[in-house]
Structure 1
Amino acid sequence: MDEKRILEELIRSRRSVKPAQFGPGKVADEVVEAILESARWAPTHGMTQPWRFVVFTGDGIERFTTFREEEYRRKNPGEQFNQLKFDKMRAASEKCSHIILIGMKRQESRKLPEWEEVAAVSSALQNMQLCATAYGVACYWSTGAMSTDPSMLSWLELGPDDLALGMLMLGQRGEEVAAPERHPQENFVRWQRK
């Protein structure tokens, strides 16, 4: 298979696999390092490279999960507290081999608009997800309220002008995830030839 077809197949086979669908076992740290390395090659206007990551594994996942639970309880007192959501947060973390917290460091000059830096981090995440797919690693980019909460900035060693953009949850592949229905290209592309 030529390189173009390999790339097309890789793109088409990438899936968002929720932690409940992860298989047993750990992903090797060397594979996670390769996934992180792929982020460096994402496009970034002005080479700001705004992505920041913190990798949790082993006891680090437990420590991070406990912090998230405490924050959830603090922000959702009394009747706002949702036990099902709380339990799902714990269960998802327990299925992960690694959790990568994702941040965006705003450049000090503010020369570029924020959206460009968010786009650069998103591009880095796409590279990481494609790399994970190539290695046979299941991954899920979680962007729920707790994973993008400003309290996550302390873990990322970022300031109030920066952003927490979720977390990439990694695990071994488990059950196969079917390809979701995609709209045909004609639904979102218009050619202007004249």
Structure 2
Amino acid sequence: MIYKNIHEVIKNRRSVFPPQYNNTPVSKEFITMLLENANWAPTHRLTQPWRFKVVQGEAKERLGTFLSDTYTDITPDNEFSPFKHKKIRNNCKSASAILIICMQRDLKERIPEWEEIASTAMAVQNMWLTCSAYRVGCYWSSPKLINYMGEFLEFEEGERCLGFFYLGNYSVEDELTSKRTPVTDKTMWVE
């Protein structure tokens, strides 16, 4: 089912986590459309800072191994969690695809960095809303491990990882709920 009303799409956007995904692959055509929608995010001075690396197939296993090994290497023994170590690998296995979310800093620094991070986040929101409309599960994760992605992939000068966008199909019969406090609690009108 595809939502037709933008209000429905926004209100039904949810994090759908890798353990909830089934084995039905997300098509390359859908991922291409997702990236095209991301490409239409707002961007100050047209820096278009979003960059994505699509990880599928055997590369997911390599990424899972890299992330879990890195977690082992950087985590003090007294903080190490075998559960988390296993979860890192399983998230990579469970996803149909993983989009590595990156931000390419304008090398001339014509605008503040936070604006380029915000533009990249808006590109991700476009993807998230597209997934919501098409009932494809997705989840943006930004663990400490993103700081080590330069050891897994080559980045351009000024490019850095902002997280992982996990994708997978899920049973649409699963109820996905969320709560929000009233917007009136977060709004002040100035007249």
Q: TM-score, normalised by structure 2?
A: 0.90
Distance (Å, rounded) in 2 between the aligned partners of 1:82 and 1:178? 28
Determine which of 165, 171, 181 is the counterpart of 1:183: 181
Paired residue secondary structure (1:53): strand
| Count of aligned positions | 188
1:137 aligns with 2:127: no
Determine which of 165, 172, 189 is the counterpart of 2:162: 165
Distance (Å, rounded) in 2 between the aligned partners of 1:187 and 1:157? 45
Distance (Å, rounded) in 2 between the aligned partners of 1:169 and 1:51? 16
Residue identity matched to 2:106? Q
1:33-76 per-position Cα deviation (integer Å, ceiling 9, x unaligned)? 11111111000000101111100111111111111122222212
Superposition pairs for residues 91-106 of structure 1, below 5 Å?
91-106=90-105
**2:66·2:152 contact (CA, 8 Å) conserved in 1?**
no
Distance (Å, rounded) in 2 between the aligned partners of 1:166 and 1:60? 17
Superposition pairs for residues 29-178 of structure 1, below 5 Å?
29-76=28-75, 78-146=77-145, 148-149=146-147, 151-155=148-152, 157-158=154-155, 161-174=158-171, 176-178=174-176
1:114-159 per-position Cα deviation (integer Å, ceiling 9, x unaligned)? 100000000000000111122221000011222x22x213555325
Amino-acid identity (%): 37
Residue identity matched to 1:178? L
Residue identity matched to 1:192? V
**1:103·1:156 contact (CA, 8 Å) conserved in 2?**
no
Q: Which runs of 5+ in 2 are unaligned?
A: none
Q: TM-score, normalised by structure 1?
A: 0.89
Go from structure 1 to structure 2 and tell me whether the alpha carbon gap of 1:143 and 1:158 turns closer, same or farther (over 3 Å shift): same
**2:68·2:86 contact (CA, 8 Å) conserved in 1?**
no
Distance (Å, rounded) in 2 between the aligned partners of 1:32 and 1:132? 10
**1:52·1:156 contact (CA, 8 Å) conserved in 2?**
no
1:168-189 per-position Cα deviation (integer Å, ceiling 9, x unaligned)? 0000023624321101110111
Query: Aligned-pair RMSD on alpha carbons?
Result: 1.9
Q: Which runs of 5+ in 1 are unaligned?
A: none
Deviates more, 1:70-79 or 1:51-60: 70-79
Partner of 1:24: 23
Go from structure 1 to structure 2 and tell me whether the alpha carbon gap of 1:58 and 1:96 turns closer, same or farther (over 3 Å shift): same
Deviates more, 1:15-24 or 1:76-85: 76-85
Go from structure 1 to structure 2 and tell me whether the alpha carbon gap of 1:177 and 1:116 turns closer, same or farther (over 3 Å shift): farther
